[in-house]
A = this chain, B = another copy of it.
Amino acid sequence: MAPMTTFKGDQFDRSLFESVIKRRFFFTESFEIYRLARNFHGDNRGLYDYGPPGCALQANIVDVWRKHFVLEENMLELDCTVITPELVLKTSGHVDKFADWMCKDPVKGEYLRADHLVENVLQSRLARGVDGPLKNSSKLDEATIDKYNDILAKIDNYDGPELGDLIKKFDIRNPDGNGEVLPPIPFNLMFKCTVGPSAAAPVYLRPETAQGQFLNFRKLLEFNQGAMPFASASIGKSYRNEISPRSGLLRVREFLMAEIEHYVDPEKKEHQRFQEVVGLELPLLDKETQLAGKTTPRSTSIEEAVKSKTIDNETLGYFLGRIMLFLLKIGVDPSKLRFRQHLDNEMAHYACDCWDAELLTSYGWIECVGCADRSAYDLTVHSNFTGTPLVVKETLRTGPIKSERWQASLDKKLVGPKFKQDAKAVQASVEALKQPLLESLAAELNAKGVVTVDTATPLADGTSSVELSRELLTIQKVTQLQTVREYTPNVIEPSFGIGRILYCLLEQTYWHRPQDAARAQRPKVLSLPLVVAPTKVLIVPISAQSQFVPIIRRLSSRLRALGITNNVDSSGASIGKRYARNDELGTPLGITVDFDTVANGSITLRDRDTTSQVRGSEDEVLDAVNNLVGGVESWQQITQHLAPFSTQGQDND
């Protein structure tokens, strides 16, 4: 992969980035003081705690999500339990199918996820230019390079036995120690516990929030006063017992999800607000393109993509558009976003089509949002198992529909004695007769008094048809009145991994200011947009003198009353250092109180990204802050009506 550049064009440096994230306590490995302690040998990877800025960033992303999706469309939000009985997840298919393939290295006692093993080893061989695990393996030839690249492009499409074949064929071994691994076996990814003292009731921690929503479908429909289509939504933790988590926040065992289940009439997958998104251009990487071994997305308007059936239907297209708008709103770099369609073998067991919104990071393209068509799968299996109808009954608006159809019936009293052991087969054959054939048979029966009907299975005498006379068979036209239409809704599911989005956003908004004489290191900045920034405003007095205290308190309290989060830094550090700390925290605005403030009430407002400053009265600056936070004005507009202000290298203090 080519080295990544930040959105400002300088080179992304993951180790510098990670040191900022750690230093500013965005997140940290859980139980870190235990990890460093003696006697702590458990496999406790893939678990992370969010510190204050990470926690605020997460809460802000969730808040935007709720407004953008739930409130905007009056979705019915639910909060269901994480603990889920085995029977529910057995029915949903998760107990049997929610598994990854893993290989054991019997020497190291280590478990490796099979697809990751193949992927890592082939990538490493390509990078090193050799074709085997050992130092004396030979140089890669063109044909092998093509073969490896082909496998990597389709890596998500292999099942366990296929991965086992690849491991054998290419002599793929555990990179840690070069040991051979055993053939892949499935490992269920759900955490299992028991409930209550009797321990008789196995339960799992849910792997997705969706099932709780499906189980409540009947109540939801009733709450919605029977109206269709509608959506439910849930924000909550889910759990996956990953085989061998790596890559920090990108593959974790406990994570926050935000999921929408949009219920539609399978015959009407249009969307009322489709027109609002038709013009949006999405970077699409469809199934066919991937299977051709290519990875470049094609920018396509939603209208065109739905028309050409690249995207199956309007509702799916609508949500892909809404997902893109959401991601851009929170600060995702549009040049590092693509929508990739799942390959057939990659799809979850419940899905019939799926698109992932992927974000580009230093780890490559990361799946952050899935948008799956789950069809009627879940509602059907739960309904079948419990005997509870999970259906929509729609009174036909046009009034009852009169329909005419041909109906064939045999005189049962005569059929038995006449056909004996063949009676059932004859009966079944008559019941199976289709409408168009029935119509012509009716005419024939009327004309000739007898017709020949084919049987599905051979009869006792070896023939496969019977003659049926008018005495035995009646075919007539009947009229039916249908007043209610009953159907199981299909489900379109946009599903968001909040932690992954958060991590990718941090990478995508990170950059370095140019180095200058005053600084030993390039200053680091997180350009988080105001709407998600953990703290909106930093308030700094120029020094710790007591005359600033009442001014600082008043400013903080006025901002709080406006609902604008702010943080006061009265520490002894220089103004420049305090700004630099807050640039790393992603704080977009800074207010400085100095000796002129005491004299004339004016304060300074600083913009994080440009470091430019303006000066005005307390009221003017607070108005400007309120307008910036509310999205009413841009920094550019603010500089047009507030006076510029400059200190000699305050940022370089």
Contacts and interface: CB of A to CB of B under 8 A. Distances in A.
Interface of A: 24-25, 28, 30-34, 36-44, 47-52, 54-56, 58-59, 71-72, 74, 76-88, 102, 109, 111, 187, 191-198, 200-203, 205, 212, 215-216, 218-220, 222-223, 225, 236-237, 239, 241-244, 253-254, 382, 385-388, 390, 560, 565, 567, 569, 571
A197 B102 contact: yes
Contact of A49 (B79, B253, B569): B79
Contacts of A222: 25
A560 B569 CA distance: 35
- This protein's copies in its complex: 2
A212 B571 CA distance: 27
A389 to B, nearest CB: 10
Contact of A193 (B51, B109, B205): B205
Most buried by B among A41, A54, A81, A191: A81
Contacts of A388: 33, 36-37
B253 A195 contact: yes
A567 B75 CA distance: 11
Contacts of A237: 82, 236-237
Given A42-B87, A55-B78, A81-B254, A187 B193 contact: no
Given A36-B388, A37-B388, A83-B47, A111 B218 contact: no
B102 A78 contact: no
Contact of A191 (B28, B193, B225): B193
A55 B77 contact: yes
Given A87-B42, A560-B72, A111 B49 contact: no
B197 A42 contact: no
Contacts of A187: 197
Contact of A201 (B43, B77, B385): B43
Q: Which 9 A-B pairs have the closest CB atoms?
A: A42-B201, A37-B386, A43-B196, A50-B79, A49-B80, A111-B197, A33-B388, A52-B76, A33-B386
Contact of A212 (B49, B58, B84, B560): B49
A81 B215 contact: no
Given A25-B220, A192-B193, 4 more contacts: A25-B222, A42-B85, A43-B198, A187-B197
Most buried by B among A28, A193, A201: A193
Contact of A85 (B31, B49, B223, B236): B31
A586 to B, nearest CB: 14
A37 B571 contact: no
Most buried by B among A47, A79, A84: A79
Given A71-B565, A241-B195, A215 B31 contact: yes
A220 B79 CA distance: 30
Given A193-B192, A388-B37, A49 B216 contact: yes
Given A25-B223, A79-B49, A88 B31 contact: yes
